[in-house]
Amino acid sequence: MGLSKVVLRYMNGKVVKGFTQNFSPDKDLFHLHTEPSLSKNAKEVVVKALKAIFFVRDFAGDSEYRERKGYAPEENPSGRIVEVKFKDGEVLVGSSLAFNREKTGFFLFPADPKSNNSRVFVVFAAVEAIRRHKSD
């Protein structure tokens, strides 16, 4: 697996940025590094403590940008279009190829192609509701 830039959002509101190369949706733990060289000591992360793992293009992002919460009529994403509402009120819209409630979470691919997030691993324990999105 290649190196990924991630932003970890914990259920308690804490946010941590770093790099990982060993995240797997089927494992309970992974390692986070503060430097892309992976030369610093890795911090062990327990997935169940997280709200979500945001796989980002850039750590800075654009605080002024408002992400689109749906698909254009001509767009045909793979998977099911869903709206995820987190317990903290945040809402994400995107597509998911599959999710199984017996797992820890699932990947969501944002509806907005200009999103800073290339994908998001959503942790079920942090979710209030998941529903099919109206554009589906």
The residue count for the chain: 136
Are 98 and 79 spatial neighbours (Cβ–Cβ below 8 Å)?
yes
Other C-beta atoms lying within 10 Å of the C-beta of residue 17: 13
> Is the CATH number 2.30.30.100 carried by domain 80-132?
yes
Task: Provide the pLDDT for residue 1.
Answer: 58
pLDDT of residue 134: 64
Residue with tokens 């949706």: 25
What distance in Å separates the CA atoms of residue 125 and residue 10, rounded to the nearest whole number?
Answer: 11
CATH no. of 4-56: 2.30.30.100
Beta carbons of 70 and 135 less than 8 angstroms apart: yes
Hey, where are the domains in the chain? 4-56, 80-132
Per-residue pLDDT reduced to its tens digit, 10-44 = 999 999 999 999 999 999 999 999 888 877 778 99
Q: How far apart are the first and last CA of the chain?
A: 32
Q: Given this chain, do its domains 4-56 and 80-132 carry the same CATH topology?
A: yes
Residue 68 confidence (pLDDT): 86
pLDDT of 60-89, one tens digit each? 888 888 888 888 888 889 899 999 999 999
The CB density around residue 78, as the number of other CB atoms within 10 Å, is 8
pLDDT at 136: 42
Is the pLDDT reported for residue 105 higher than 80?
A: yes
